[in-house]
């Protein structure tokens, strides 16, 4: 079974459209993330959710809205798509809270990515 899955894998759409990317994890983790990887391969955090609550929201346009219906899902909705939104979007998860060992969160697991192309 895939630990972190994303759909769709590829998304081609026109400027101005609204689209969603879905993410699901079956690892029982309490924290999920969305990252954007630009054309220069730089990976940057967008959002982080812990137990369905937003815990971090980096400087992302408000056209991007994450939705977490439950601990296992974190979807990303994008309104009024722009050319600059073209990138690969990665979902990830980890266990952050309630750890017995010191040192914070366990390792992150990433999904396969969604390549978004806006034309």
Partner 1 sequence: KQEVTQIPAALSVPEGENLVLNCSFTDSAIYNLQWFRQDPGKGLTSLLLIQSSQREQTSGRLNASLDKSSGRSTLYIAASQPGDSATYLCAPSSGGSYIPTFGRGTSLIVHP
Binding site for partner 1 (CB under 8 A): 31, 33, 40-45, 48, 55-56, 90, 92, 94, 96, 101-113
Whether the CB-CB separation of 116 and 11 falls below 8 Å is answered with yes
Cβ distance to partner 1 smaller for residue 50 or 75: 50
Cα separation of 72 and 82, whole Å? 29
Rounded to a whole number of angstroms, the minimum distance from the CB of residue 110 to partner 1 is 4
Q: How far is the CB of 49 from partner 1 (least distance, A)?
A: 11
Alpha-carbon distance of 56 to 39, in angstroms, equals 24
Instruction: Using the minimum distance from each CB to partner 1, give the nearer residue, 83 or 102.
Output: 102
Closest approach of partner 1 to the CB of residue 31, in Å = 8
Asked whether 11 and 77 are in contact (CB, 8 A), the reply is: no
Nearest CB to partner 1, comparing residues 19 and 110: 110
Separation of alpha carbons 30 and 43, rounded Å: 22
Q: ∠31-17-9 over CA atoms, to 5°? A: 50
Q: How far apart are CB 16 and partner 1 at their closest, in Å?
A: 27
């Amino acid at each position: 079974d895939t630990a972190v899955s994303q759909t769709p894998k590829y998304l081609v759409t026109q400027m101005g459209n609204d689209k969603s990317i879905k993410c699901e994890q079956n690892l029982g983790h309490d924290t999920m993330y969305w990252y954007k990887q630009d054309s220069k391969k730089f990976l940057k955090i967008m959002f982080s959710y812990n137990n369905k609550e937003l815990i971090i929201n980096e400087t992302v346009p408000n056209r991007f809205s994450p939705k977490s219906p439950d601990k296992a899902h974190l979807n990303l909705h994008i309104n009024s798509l722009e050319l600059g939104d073209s990138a690969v979007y990665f979902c990830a998860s980890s266990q952050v809270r309630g750890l017995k060992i010191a040192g914070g969160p366990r390792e992150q697991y990433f999904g396969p990515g969604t390549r978004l192309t806006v034309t």
